[in-house]
Amino acid sequence: MVEERFVQGNEACALGAIAANCRFFAGYPITPSTEIAEQMSILLPKYGGSFVQMEDEIGSAGAIIGASWSGMKAMTATSGPGISLMQENIGYGFITETPIVIINVQRGSPSTGQPTMSAQADMMQVRWGSHGDYEPIALAPSSVQEFFDFTIKAFNLAEEYRVPVTVLADEVVGHMREKLIIPDKVDIVARKRPEKVNGQYLPFDAPEDGTTPMPAFGDGFNIHVTGLTHDERGYPDTNDPDTHNELVERLCNKVLMRRKDICSVKKENCDDADIVIVSCGSPYCSVGAAMKKAREEGIKVGSLKIDTPWPFPEEEIAEIAKTASDIIVPEMNLGQLVHEVERAAHGEANVHLIGKIGGILHKPDEIYDKIKEING
Amino acid sequence: MRTEVRIAGFGGQGVIMAGVIIGKAASLFDNKNAVQTQSYGPEARGGASRTEVVIDDEEIDYPKVTSPDILVAMSHEALIKYMGDLKDEGVLIIDPDMIVEEEIVDFVKEHKIKLYRAPATKTATEDVGLRIVANIVMIGAIVKVTEVVSVDAAKQAILDSVPKGTEDKNIQAFEAGYALL
């Protein structure tokens, strides 16, 4: 039965995780993500799952990687300071191709910054936070419903590509309450398990469709999981440049080659637009009113909302830049995603940042004022 | 039509719960769109606490209140802190026992504010016999004056939100508040 609830974004996230069959949560509660841990601690025992309050975020990321290799769908939730601590293990997740979901409810930064205030401070940390070359997947919700939907999608993408996936929320979407519609059935991607017998199965080879099946500890396969550069058996092979090349390029390409399948944007009024507002996450909430007000005055304004900041929707931005003269990027930071927009626009449109820090979401008029300034 | 409601008081009065109930009533039981947000600080009790609800027949993009149509004040400190951006000719509902009214006379006159007095704390304590339901009494008063949500929806949302075993007291509180104005 379809269920309707009036809940906070953070609660919707926990409900989405349960719906996606997440049965393991390890975390260290941190504002403004705490309600996710709280809800998971209430829900998981009811579904036969496990909740572990860890000693810190380093341990949390390690625990969910271990749980994933034990066959569980596993998640953690944190905010900027916790994400910083998790970076080493997140890199380990990438090189060992471990499906995990990390929820980052962003707050004012750097360091412990503003615990109770909103920000989009970690847009680039998700992309480059851990050392080395890798291609992350991240989803940014702008409503309570999206926080639920994107959490499910994050689990599905994690399984499909065998990668850590981040849901990049923020304090605004984490704490606001809205109606959430929980469908009676959600599409879930089950983990692909090896069909071959032990001895023939290679846990890190490169099949045609990109993702190698993954066994669980205890399934009877002799496998080795390491953060060192490894061959297709998982055995360390750290001095051969070819092994490293093949491994890291495959890790990147399995996401990059299918970028079009992963990238998701929502376009409104873009066809005739001279000015397009490119937003991601909560700032999208302020776009609609600004666009409407400008349209009423005859200014042709459109909106492109980025659901997946990573991999970055390059083609979609390039396409917009060809038809629009100006692109406005409202961000709750001093300019992060705007650099990607500029890069993708190839100088074909003028890119304007509305960077805002301090913890308060842009007001629609702040975007409208920029539209007026550009329109002259 | 977009209606913006702000309820303010001190931490511990249940103002956030009041906002959640009104949002829930509009969203789940009146079939409108609603977004509830709240001030979110380190203080648990005392200090000014605030919740905001936006209600609209149409889809709501911007979730925050910019200038409320309805302001409800359950403490003097919160009233002074949050009344500044109340719309001209807007509705102001106060708990008179918690407010120093002389301090707002000029503001009310200047901005043609429609002022209502709902002694929610006194009613909760004396009539219902339970001081902690003052927030539910206030919901009754809000619904009576503003019709921002229907009576049925408000009652259903209250029943959906309060702890089991306290339903009767809370409905009694709502009705006592509804009868105040």
Average pLDDT of every residue of chain A: 96
For residues A92 and A98, give the distance between their C-alpha atoms in angstroms, rounded to a whole number. Answer: 8
Angle A45-B14-B10 (CA atoms, 0-180°, nearest 5)?
125
Sign of the dihedral defined by the CA atoms of residues B139, B152, B170, A5, in that order: negative
Percent of the residues in chain A that have a pLDDT greater than 70, as a whole number:
99
For residues A228 and A269, give the distance between their C-alpha atoms in angstroms, rounded to a whole number. Answer: 48
Would strands A326-331 and A350-355 be described as parallel, antiparallel, or unpaired? parallel
pLDDT of residue A277: 98
How close B119 gets to chain A, by Cα (Å)? 28
Is the pLDDT reported for residue B127 higher than 80?
yes
CB within 8 Å of chain A, chain B residues 87-126: none
pLDDT of residue B47: 76
Q: Worst-scoring range by mean pLDDT, A69-83, A122-136, B43-57, B124-138?
A: B43-57
Distance set, CA A220 to CA A165, A203, A204, B16, B54 (Å): 27, 13, 16, 53, 56
For residues A362 and A125, give the distance between their C-alpha atoms in angstroms, rounded to a whole number. Answer: 22
Tokens of A140: 């940014």
> Band of the pLDDT at B44, cuts 50, 70, 90?
low
Contact assignment for B28 to A4 by CB distance below 8 Å: yes
Q: What is the mean pLDDT of residues A279-283?
A: 98
pLDDT of residue B94: 97
Q: What are residue A306's DSSP bridge partners?
A: A265, A280
The residue type of B117 is: R
> Band of the pLDDT at B45, cuts 50, 70, 90?
low
Distance set, CA A257 to CA A42, A100, A250, A303, B4 (Å): 40, 21, 10, 27, 47
- CB contacts < 8 A (A, B): 58
Is the pLDDT reported for residue B173 higher than 60?
yes
Contact assignment for A364 to B62 by CB distance below 8 Å: yes
Q: Worst-scoring range by mean pLDDT, A65-69, A72-76, A156-160, A205-209?
A: A205-209
Strand blocks (E) in chain A: 3-8, 22-27, 50-53, 73-78, 100-108, 114-118, 137-139, 164-170, 177-182, 265-268, 275-280, 301-306, 326-331, 350-355
A169-188 pLDDT per residue, tens: 999 999 999 999 999 999 99
> Using omega within 30 degrees of 0 as the cis cutoff, is the peptide bond preceding A110 cis?
yes
B4-40 pLDDT per residue, tens: 999 999 888 999 999 999 999 999 999 999 999 998 7
Tokens of B48: 């000014």
Percent of the residues in chain B that have a pLDDT greater than 70, as a whole number:
97
Is the pLDDT reported for residue B46 higher than 70?
no
Is the pLDDT reported for residue A5 higher than 80?
yes
Residue of B32, B36, B61 to mutate, interface with A, max A Cβ within 10 Å: B61
Tokens of A201: 């199965």
What count of other Cβ atoms lies within 10 Å of the Cβ of residue A256?
A: 12
For residues B177 and A155, give the distance between their C-alpha atoms in angstroms, rounded to a whole number. Answer: 47
What count of other Cβ atoms lies within 10 Å of the Cβ of residue B177?
A: 29
Phi, psi (deg, nearest 5) at residue A158:
-60, -40
Residue of B35, B50, B57, B58 to mutate, interface with A, max A Cβ within 10 Å: B35
Angle B41-B44-B48 (CA atoms, 0-180°, nearest 5)?
65
Tokens of A78: 């944190």
The residue type of A277 is: I
Could you tell me which of B33, B35, B160 has the C-alpha nearest to residue A177? B35
Q: What is the mean pLDDT of residues B154-165?
A: 97
Q: Which residues of A touch B (CB under 8 A)?
A: 4-6, 32, 115-116, 171-172, 175-179, 284-289, 361, 363-364
Domains of chain A: 3-182 (3.40.50.970), 264-375 (3.40.50.920)
A32, A177, A286 ranked by CB distance to B62: nearest: A286
Q: At what angle do helices B151-161 and B15-24 cross, to 10 degrees?
A: 120
pLDDT of residue B91: 98
Contact assignment for B23 to A6 by CB distance below 8 Å: yes
pLDDT of residue A33: 98
DSSP for A16-45? Answer: HHHHTTEEEEEE---TTTHHHHHHHHHHHH
Looking at chain B, which residue has its C-alpha nearest residue A172? B37
pLDDT of residue A209: 67
For residues A137 and A8, give the distance between their C-alpha atoms in angstroms, rounded to a whole number. Answer: 24
pLDDT of residue A1: 78
pLDDT of residue B41: 67
Q: What is the mean pLDDT of residues B131-159?
A: 98
A237-256 pLDDT per residue, tens: 999 999 999 999 999 999 99
Q: Worst-scoring range by mean pLDDT, A196-210, A265-279, B7-21, B155-169?
A: A196-210
Is the pLDDT reported for residue B98 higher than 90?
yes
For residues B109 and B100, give the distance between their C-alpha atoms in angstroms, rounded to a whole number. Answer: 16
pLDDT of residue A198: 80
For residues B3 and A191, give the distance between their C-alpha atoms in angstroms, rounded to a whole number. Answer: 47
pLDDT of residue A199: 82
**Which of chain B's residues have a Cβ under 8 Å away from the Cβ of A284?**
61
**Which of chain B's residues have a Cβ under 8 Å away from the Cβ of A4?**
28
Contact assignment for B36 to A177 by CB distance below 8 Å: yes
For residues A113 and A125, give the distance between their C-alpha atoms in angstroms, rounded to a whole number. Answer: 16
Contact B24, A176 (CB under 8 A): no
Is the pLDDT reported for residue B178 higher than 80?
yes
**What is the per-residue burial (b if ≥16 Cβ within 10 Å, else e) of B77-113?**
bbbbebbeebbeebbbbbbeebbeeeebeebbeeeeb
Tokens of A109: 């930064």
Place of tokens 């060992």: A96
B33 in contact with A, Cβ within 8 Å: yes
pLDDT of residue A222: 87
**Which of chain A's residues have a Cβ under 8 Å away from the Cβ of B37?**
172, 175-177
Contacts with B23 (C-beta within 8 Å, 6 or more apart), sequence order: A6, A177, B34, B35, B36, B53, B55
For residues A244 and A228, give the distance between their C-alpha atoms in angstroms, rounded to a whole number. Answer: 10
Is the pLDDT reported for residue B101 higher than 80?
yes
B37, B42, B61 ranked by CB distance to A176: nearest: B37
What count of other Cβ atoms lies within 10 Å of the Cβ of residue A335?
A: 14
Contact B40, B7 (CB under 8 A): no
A177, A285, A361 ranked by CB distance to B23: nearest: A177
CA A211 to chain centre: 19
Contact A328, A283 (CB under 8 A): no
DSSP B57: S
A6, A115, A285 ranked by CB distance to B28: nearest: A6
B37 in contact with A, Cβ within 8 Å: yes
B63-95 pLDDT per residue, tens: 999 999 999 999 999 999 999 999 999 999 999
Contact assignment for A116 to B23 by CB distance below 8 Å: no
Contact assignment for A179 to B61 by CB distance below 8 Å: no
CA A70 to chain centre: 23
A301-344 pLDDT per residue, tens: 999 999 999 999 999 999 999 999 999 999 999 999 999 999 99
For residues A288 and A305, give the distance between their C-alpha atoms in angstroms, rounded to a whole number. Answer: 11
Let me know how long chain A is. 376
**Which of chain A's residues have a Cβ under 8 Å away from the Cβ of B33?**
178-179
Q: What is the mean pLDDT of residues A264-283?
A: 98
